[in-house]
Amino acid sequence: MGHETDTTLIDFVSDRRAPTPTAAAEIATPVLADLKALVLDFERRMARCTQHALETRRSRLAAARLPRESELLGPASQRFDLAAGRLAAALERNVAIHERQLTRVSSRLAPGLLDRPRRLKQERLAELSGRLTAAVGRVRDQAERRARLPELARRMDQAVERRLARERDRLGRIEQLRTSLNPDRPLSLGFARVHHADGGLARRAADLSAGEAVRLTFADGDRQAVVDGTAPPKAARAAKPPPASQGSLF
C-alpha cells in the first residue's frame, strides 16, 4: 500500500478504500466511544438475562406451593404437647393405683415380709422418676429445636444467595468464553474469510487456483471474487555488505 492513485482489483470488491496507509489505519481503528457503548450494551443484556433467570426460579419456587413450617410441625407439636401434659397426671394415677394394690397385698402378709414390697415400691418409684426426667429432657430438646428454626431459615437464605452469586459468576465466564470463541468476531475488526465455491474455507494461498470463483465474507455481508492467479513479488532480501577490512596495526 503506497501513496499511488492507481486503481487495483481489490477496490472493486472492497467496501471501503483508503488512499493512504494513514487513512486506512484511521478507518480500521475502532472508536473508543463505540467500544464503550458496546461493552455497556453487553453488561445490560447480561444483567437482564440474570434478572430473568432469577425471576424464573422465583416463579417456579412460588408455584411449587411448598407447605409452611407451621403446617408441617403444627399437628405433631400439638399432639406432643398434649401427650406431655397428660404424662405427669397418668404417672401419678399409676403410682396411686399400684400403691393401693401394694397396701392391700401387704395387709395380708406377715410383718417380716413388709420390707420387700417397700423396697420394690421405692425401686418402682425411682424407675418412674427416671422415665419422667427423660421425658422432660426430650420435651426441652424439642423446644430448643423449634427455637433454632429461624436461624436455620436464615442460614438457608444465605446459602441460596451464595449459590446464586456463583451461578452469576459462572454465567459471566461462559459469556466471556462465548464472545472470545465467536468465529465472526475477527470480521468486526476488518478481517474477511475466503470460501471456495462449495462453501469450504480457504486457509492458505496455496488452496486457491487461478480463475477460481471465491466468496469473501465480511462483517456486514458477502462479496464474490475471482482469483487472478498472480502473487505479489517477494521483496528481494538486501545483501549484506562485506565486512570492512581491518588495517594492519604495524
Phi-psi label, residue 199: left if phi above 0, alpha if psi -120 to 50, beta otherwise? left
**Residue 237 confidence class, pLDDT cut points 50, 70, 90:** very low
Distances (CA, A) of 18 to 24, 147, 216, 220: 5, 77, 19, 18
Query: Which single residue is written with the C-alpha cell 420394690?
Result: 120
DSSP letter, residue 229: S
pTM of the complete model: 0.27
**Interval 42-99: pLDDT, tens:** 999 999 999 999 999 888 877 777 777 777 777 888 888 888 888 888 888 888 898 8
Full DSSP string of 84-131: HHHHHHHHHHHHHHHHHHHHHHHHTS-GGGSHHHHHHHHHHHHHHHHH
Distance CA 82, CA 84 (A): 5
187 compared with 200, residue with greater pLDDT: 200
d(CA 122, CA 229): 116
Strand partners, 195: 201, 215
Long-range CB contacts (< 8 A, 24+ apart) of 56-62? none
Residue 37 backbone dihedrals phi, psi, to 5 degrees: -65, -40
Buried b (16+ CB within 10 A) or exposed e, 155-166: eeeeeeeeeeee
